[in-house]
Structure 1
Amino acid sequence: MFTTQASSTHLVLIPSYNPGTRVDDTVRHARENWNPVWVVVDGSTDGSTARLQAMAGRDPGLRVIVLPANRGKGAAVLAGLDEAAAYGFTHVLTMDSDGQHPAHLIRTFMAASQADPGAMVLGLPQFGPEAPRERVYWRRLSNLCANLETLWAGIGDSLYGFRVYPIAPLRTIMHGHGWMRRFDFDPEVAVRLCWEGVRPVRIASPVRYFGPGEGGVSHFNYLRDNVLLTWMHLRLLAQCVPRLPKLIAMRWQEHCSTAKS
């Protein structure tokens, strides 16, 4: 049964590009756990747009925003953020459309955000044995870089996209920079939000990788996307140097606050 009571502050935002049939269950499960749910179709050509629009026609808690051409995950999220801000929403929970993220934890993440609205709530992925080893290896390297760039602010996993963001600072960051529009969205926004003093709150979250036989679809390109991530971390490492005094002061203040409590 779908959740009918709508939140006026928090919504689920699902960017979607050629997700295959998995998106149907993803959206259905999201709606069972939250209202409203918005899907931003990022120029999909696999027939999923029509199915999603038909679902939205039967469900007032579901909205589908269609972009005319593929722009990338970050660009799709930003389109949803701008629309959400216009409707007065303050927070979004982002999740992938391919079924990897745990819809049953949506309420847990939203409750954590509502209890601490100035923070970003980040999923800490728990991988199963089906997770590709190469993907896990590259995540560890990206996480190390993100920790260096934030002086271990507590991001946990820089690439996991099951998160709740405060809309205002995220929109400010994204409109102020031309990057973060594709696969670099999740790690770069986490680092830049930390730089702006948005505190990360981490919650353990299981991850499920689906193989092709299970309807799984992956748009990750090892060469293209790892080059993109490498260039992103080089930029962020260079830009964190002048921020070191501020970052050290922030970490020291957090240490003192923890010691007092």
Structure 2
Amino acid sequence: MSPTSCLSVIMPAFNEEATIAACVERVLASPWTAEIIVVDDGSVDSTREIATALSESDPRVRLLVQPVNRGKGAALARGFAEATAEYVIVQDADLEYEPEEFGELLAPLLDGRADVVYGSRFLAGRPHRVLYFWHSVGNRLLTLLSNMFTNLNLTDMETCYKAFRREVIQSITIEEDRFGFEPEITGKLAAGNWSIYEVGISYSGRTYAEGKKIGWRDGVRALICILRYSPLGQRVRGSLPTR
């Protein structure tokens, strides 16, 4: 299928001055990109100034500003609400994920098979930077627990790369302000019986010295969100006696 500009790219950014210009440039180079919505989440470096200049130089780039740092989930919720293209994808500004792979994520949406597509870092066939063992274990454990409570068979629940039909993501209320967004949206998609596909993607993970932000507290929050938002978790909580 020939590429067409059908994609709203939501780009949350917090202190990403080192990478945001290159990220926006690569996203704009994609023939699939209709618009980029950069959500500056209270950055205290020059991220906002760089994003402002980018938005002034290309009408496809829009900048939304959070006055204080509220977290990735809050930034995404604001960006999703502003999206106008037929499909919506999340692109972190740190370039851990490759904008050149938009076409692979869009394919199941464009041919009508999927309502949502997850880009999996754990499906074979794509290059991966080798980094933290315990991060990999944690991601796989959280995915396993999420699958148990949603009855899905995902390989990478925590992936950033999620693409949606716009009406699907705009029909869901995002409650988690921070990294709890990933298990929350997965639980709500499962509850809504939306058709979900996975495709393999590349992954160039960052070290903490390079700016990686997620930590063990986010893993604990993910466990809470799996219990809170998944269909089985809601049924279990609903069956508990009340005082």
**Normalising by the residue count of structure 2, what TM-score does the alignment of the two structures yield?**
0.84
| Residue 238 of structure 1, CA deviation | 2.4
Report the counterpart of residue 164 of structure 1 in structure 2: 163
Distance 1:212 1:193 in 2: 31
Change over 3 Å in CA distance of 1:54–1:124 after alignment to 2: same
Q: 1:93-151 CA deviation, whole Å, 9 max, x = no partner?
A: 11211110111101332343222275101101147352211211110110111111121
Distance 1:212 1:81 in 2: 28
| Residue 41 of structure 1, CA deviation | 0.9
Q: Which moved more, 1:9-18 or 1:42-51?
A: 9-18
> Which structure dedicates a bigger proportion of its chain to helix?
1
- 2:163 aligned counterpart, secondary structure: strand
- 1:139 aligned counterpart, secondary structure: helix
Amino acid at match of 1:92: V
Q: Does 1:227 align with 2:220?
A: yes
Among residues 197, 201, 205, which one is paired with 1:205 in the alignment? 201
Distance 2:223 2:206 in 1: 26
Q: Does 1:130 align with 2:130?
A: yes
Amino acid at match of 2:82: E
Matched residue count: 228
Gaps of 5+ in 2: 239-243
Contact 1:14 1:94 in 2 (8 A): yes
Distance 1:80 1:11 in 2: 9
Amino acid at match of 1:11: S
Contact 2:140 2:155 in 1 (8 A): no
Amino acid at match of 2:164: Y
Distance 1:60 1:173 in 2: 28
Matches within 5 A, 1:9-20: 9-20=6-17
Gaps of 5+ in 1: 244-261
Among residues 151, 164, 182, which one is paired with 2:178 in the alignment? 182
Report the counterpart of residue 148 of structure 1 in structure 2: 148
Matches within 5 A, 1:39-54: 39-54=38-53
Matches within 5 A, 1:81-160: 81-84=80-83, 87=84, 89-116=85-112, 119-126=115-122, 128-151=128-151, 153-160=152-159
Distance 2:76 2:86 in 1: 14
Report the counterpart of residue 255 of structure 1 in structure 2: none
Amino acid at match of 2:168: P
Contact 2:11 2:92 in 1 (8 A): yes
Amino acid at match of 1:67: Q
**Normalising by the residue count of structure 1, what TM-score does the alignment of the two structures yield?**
0.79
- 2:121 aligned counterpart, secondary structure: strand
Distance 2:132 2:47 in 1: 26
Contact 2:129 2:205 in 1 (8 A): no
Contact 1:159 1:187 in 2 (8 A): yes
| Residue 229 of structure 1, CA deviation | 1.4
Task: Calculate percent identity across the aligned residue pairs.
Answer: 24
Distance 1:27 1:118 in 2: 27
- 1:123 aligned counterpart, secondary structure: strand
Amino acid at match of 1:218: K
Report the counterpart of residue 22 of structure 2 in structure 1: 25
Among residues 229, 234, 237, which one is paired with 1:239 in the alignment? 234
Amino acid at match of 1:182: R
Contact 1:155 1:190 in 2 (8 A): no
Amino acid at match of 1:60: P
Report the counterpart of residue 241 of structure 2 in structure 1: none
Distance 1:72 1:128 in 2: 26
Contact 2:8 2:87 in 1 (8 A): yes
